[in-house]
Structure 1
């Protein structure tokens, strides 16, 4: 009889034990699931979150005023994405063997490829907000690390002002972009210095010629494909026309 009276009590004890085990198991699972969210207030500030959400490639270089980034800053902010590891066929930074053939093509060709894009690389490495001089500084920085001996365009100061002289700027734009057609008279372009070929163009006056060149004419795309400032492009037009007078 006593054994029969103990049975219900044992059953109740077993059930209570099962309930306790289930509760403990649920608690441990909940603890495990939320353990990754145990963060403090410091790492959840707006500044900290914003820093972690910055686009890939953005760095301290973006703190420099527009147009004032050095070649090293541009490289570390943009170019390193591919050139740091030699991705997509790009020459790896500091690899003289990979850069040798590029450096041998000369400064103007390297700059032209960097500004307009080449193979898998988009124009300006995909950073359209960079100025031409910032891109050129990056080209010089990377090229020199690969065995080149280029000079970076100056950043700020009197030297930079001198570099913006219209005659100097016009010649640089011509040699980096316009020479592709005007150097040989390709695609119907009037050849540099050919007074006869330039005569009917010059009759339009500088303003008319500049307007046509800016919009594009016949086989020539707008601004001849030049992606720099209007002031630099105007300087190039003046340089071309002055050579034909």
Structure 2
């Protein structure tokens, strides 16, 4: 058991040993200096994030920092389907929360589109499964909800036509007929 194996040192001379020790200290210092230089120079936003740009910050605080007074006597201005989607529907339809079909996903919207616009619109107005009536915003007009349904389904491949409110002339023409009906029954 007295195998005598000679161990050979990786360094043959003291000069090689000193050079290895110096390199062991200088290489990490050099790497640290290069990393510090890289980190401190240039504009490097976080990967995939523009959350701290001036525009993104202004967009986030806009709803809080904006004061808008609404004239209660003014006629209601109906929102477009895109405005309703961005204001009400994105919470669930952008993420698929509670089983909501995701915006633009033809596979999820296909079976729903096959049921037809009227069914989709009735479900959106009255609520269906986990979806609250009018997406949880009772201030929405039925036409606004219909426009949002058209906006979302058309993006997923449907070809529905957005409804338009009745023309003021048609509404005015219908008003005297309804007013005359109770008078005639007296």
TM-score by length of 2: 0.51
- Of 94, 100, 124, the residue aligned with 1:90 is 100
In the aligned structure 1, how far is the partner of 2:105 from the partner of 2:131?
18
What per-residue deviation string (whole Å, max 9, x for no partner) do you get for residues 29-77 of structure 1? Answer: xxxxxxxxxxxxxxxxxxx9xx4774xxxxx9x9xx7341000000000
Change (3 A) 1:164 1:108: farther
Q: 2:160 matched to 1:150?
A: yes
> Unaligned 5+ residue runs, structure 1?
1-47, 55-59, 155-159, 170-205, 208-245
- Of 121, 132, 157, the residue aligned with 2:131 is 121
What per-residue deviation string (whole Å, max 9, x for no partner) do you get for residues 172-223 of structure 1? Answer: xxxxxxxxxxxxxxxxxxxxxxxxxxxxxxxxxx75xxxxxxxxxxxxxxxx
Change (3 A) 1:105 1:163: farther
Work out whether residues 67 and 133 of structure 1, in 8 Å CA contact, stay in contact via their aligned partners in 2: no
Work out whether residues 67 and 130 of structure 1, in 8 Å CA contact, stay in contact via their aligned partners in 2: no
Change (3 A) 1:85 1:164: farther
In the aligned structure 2, how far is the partner of 1:124 from the partner of 1:108?
14
- How big is the alpha-carbon RMSD for the aligned residues of Structure 1 and Structure 2? 2.9
Work out whether residues 99 and 146 of structure 1, in 8 Å CA contact, stay in contact via their aligned partners in 2: yes
What SS is found at the alignment partner of 1:135?
helix
- Of 157, 161, 167, the residue aligned with 1:162 is 167
Change (3 A) 1:103 1:165: farther
What SS is found at the alignment partner of 1:133?
helix
> Unaligned 5+ residue runs, structure 2?
1-57, 175-180
In the aligned structure 1, how far is the partner of 2:162 from the partner of 2:170?
17
Q: Which has the higher helix share?
A: 1
Superposition deviation, residue 164 in structure 1? 8.3
Q: 2:78 matched to 1:73?
A: no
Superposition deviation, residue 107 in structure 1? 0.8
Superposition deviation, residue 79 in structure 1? 0.2
